[in-house]
Amino acid sequence: MRLIIDGFGKSISRRDNQIVIRENGDEVDYFLAKNLKQIVINGKGAITFDAIELLSDNNVDVIAIDWRGNIKYRLSSMEHNNVEIRKQQYYALNDDRSGYLAKKFIESKIKNQRSMLGTLSKSRGGVDFLSNQREKLNNLLKALDNIKIKPSQKIRSDIFGIEGMASHEYWLGFRYVVDDEYNFLKRSGRGAQDPVNAMLNYSYAILASEVLKSLHISGLDPYSGFLHSDRYARKSLVFDLMEEFRQQIVDKSVLKLINRGQIEKDDFELKDDKVFIKESCRKLLIKTILDKLNNDVTFDGVKTTYTNLIAIESKNIVDYLLFTRKYNTFYLRW
């Protein structure tokens, strides 16, 4: 179970093996700590030392997300005690293992982009434009496959070159099915200037928190990536693994909210030439993404949740680094 604490005047405390939620001093709910997976805080309040200890003992993540979707802090249990995992992670940066994984992350991303466009085309009766965009991604997958595996630092620019072209074609297809009233012209990062990018950015931050948790539990260093290069304070490996899950978890969810009319232009406001999500919409967005993480998905013949699948992929990275076991990337066909 994931618990969302939003608004102001909330507090988190402990009573025996329970986590108690209060608002302005009055108890509003309580949960057994063992039944919680994560607490997402989106507001102002307090948490007691006893509650932190209980949550840590039960491996419950606590993350705080600001109104922009940035992760402000994260409380977690102690790190994995197998130092060999991180040693092999660092060694791999200088050998072909890093290039292999870097290619795999982008292979998965492009396949999921292709799947997304195929789903959109099929749901709209086989739109030629979307089919053509999908075919372009097929060609780029072939180009990616032709890149010879070397240490990632030697092929990173080639991989990102193909990833950039694939993303350009994908977002053109994505834009095709978004109503013009949202003014979604292209994908942008921080400082969104349209509602769609604002929702994507916020939702990716929630996904990042789940990936960060899975990497932490697996014993990997989230700051040392294979695809994304090292940069001060950047969780490069989080961005690496996120590439496999952006489309199926976030992009589909955002598009569904738009197409079903659950989101309106009034849910956003413009400040200093940037678009911000109002509180009611943020709550809906958080709930939608967290629900998606709990949804069932079948991959490699196994039915599981997206949360478990992210954890499986984190463990698969470890197994590849330690035992050179084949890394099976996640992607859905349609």
Q: Is the pTM of this model over 0.85?
A: yes
- Band of the pLDDT at 116, cuts 50, 70, 90? very high
Q: Is residue 131 part of a domain?
A: yes
pLDDT, mean of residues 115-126: 86
Please report whether residue 241 resides in a domain: yes
Question: How many domains in the chain?
Answer: 2
| Residue scoring higher pLDDT (86 or 78) | 86
Does a structural domain hold residue 263?
A: yes
Identify the domain containing residue 217 by its residue range: 83-323
Same domain assignment for residues 51 and 172: no
Q: Are residues 179 and 284 in the same domain?
A: yes
Token output for 285: 């967005």
Q: Please name which of 296, 312, 316 lies closest in space to residue 304, comparing C-alpha atoms.
A: 296
Q: Does 332 fall in a domain?
A: no
pLDDT at 63 > cutoff 90: no
Same domain membership, residue 162 and residue 22? no
Report yes or no on 328 lying in a domain.
no
Average pLDDT, the chain: 91
Query: Residue 67: its pLDDT value, please?
Result: 66
d(CA 152, CA 171): 26
Span of 55-64, 82-91, 119-128, 130-139 with lowest mean pLDDT? 119-128
Res. 26 pLDDT band, cuts 50 70 90? very high
Q: Is 43 found in the same domain as 119? A: no
Residue 113 is classified by DSSP as H
* pLDDT computed for residue 334 by the predictor: 65
Same structural domain for residues 44 and 137? no
More confident residue, 264 or 170: 170
Supply the pLDDT for residue 80.
67
Evaluate if residue 77 carries a pLDDT over 90: no
Pair 245, 266 in one domain: yes
End position of a domain, from candidates 75, 96, 128: 75
* Confidence (pLDDT) at 143: 98
Q: How far is CA 105 from CA 90, 132, 211, in A?
A: 18, 23, 14
- Angle, helices 252-259 vs 279-294, to 10°: value is 130
Last residue of a domain, one of 75, 101, 133: 75
Q: What is the pLDDT of residues 277-301, one digit of tens each?
A: 988 898 899 899 999 999 999 888 8
Each residue's pLDDT tens digit, 231-272 = 887 899 999 999 999 999 999 999 999 989 999 888 999 888
Q: Does residue 284 form part of some domain? A: yes
Task: State whether 111 and 11 are in the same domain.
Answer: no
Pick from 87, 150, 141, 83: which is nearest to 117 by CA?
141
